[in-house]
A and B are shown apart, each in its own frame.
Chain A
């Protein structure tokens, strides 16, 4: 069955530090993979998506993600976080329908 796992419920990093949020998926075929961000009171905003081709995907706000089939992973990275990046991040897998992970809440220390 299609599933998405985000192992970290909370992540805290200092402003200016690098960030990596983990995501593992389970899907029989080549997956469609997404990362969304949700700020308080806001709808989900798409950061980036992977369908095929280059396994390193660039997104908005300086985010990137790398698809690794051998590890069934699609981790989100940013080289230097800003205080405004504090939010909830959701990894999702698309197929017959979109399945979301439970999310990782990112906290930024000043």
Chain B
């Protein structure tokens, strides 16, 4: 497809488990973003990649969160030792230009993570 895709769409994890969330951005898009959206809230910035370089990770809530984009295309957000407060929808977005917050971002459908 032509849009941003994410997998899995739903993930249930037991507290303490590690999870990996995948994002396939639009082909050719330079910038990739991860957001966390808690229930009833707006998306909150987690991290930003320009190609394979992670230029901003200021939004990652703890060192249990790790993101990578090794070849400048697909990205993976990994959460280690999941906690109940990690339950949220994780959104991925991509944009064509190499800008952090000014270009139009195209969002995937999100991965809903539930930690029991």
Contact = CB atoms under 8 A, between A and B. Distances in A.
Interface residues of A, number: 24
Q: Is the interface of A mostly helix, strand, loop or mixed?
A: strand
Contacts, number: 56
A77 B68 CA distance: 39
B101 A95 contact: yes
Interface residues of B, number: 25
Q: Is the interface of B mostly helix, strand, loop or mixed?
A: loop
A44 B91 contact: yes
B49 interface: no
Contacts of B18: none
Given A44-B91, A44-B107, A32 B101 contact: yes
19 contacts: A32-B101, A41-B109, A43-B91, A43-B107, A43-B109, A44-B91, A44-B107, A45-B107, A90-B43, A94-B101, A96-B100, A96-B101, A97-B56, A98-B33, A99-B45, A100-B44, A101-B42, A102-B40, A103-B42
Q: What 3 pairs across the A-B complex have the smallest Cβ distances?
A: A100-B42, A43-B107, A94-B101
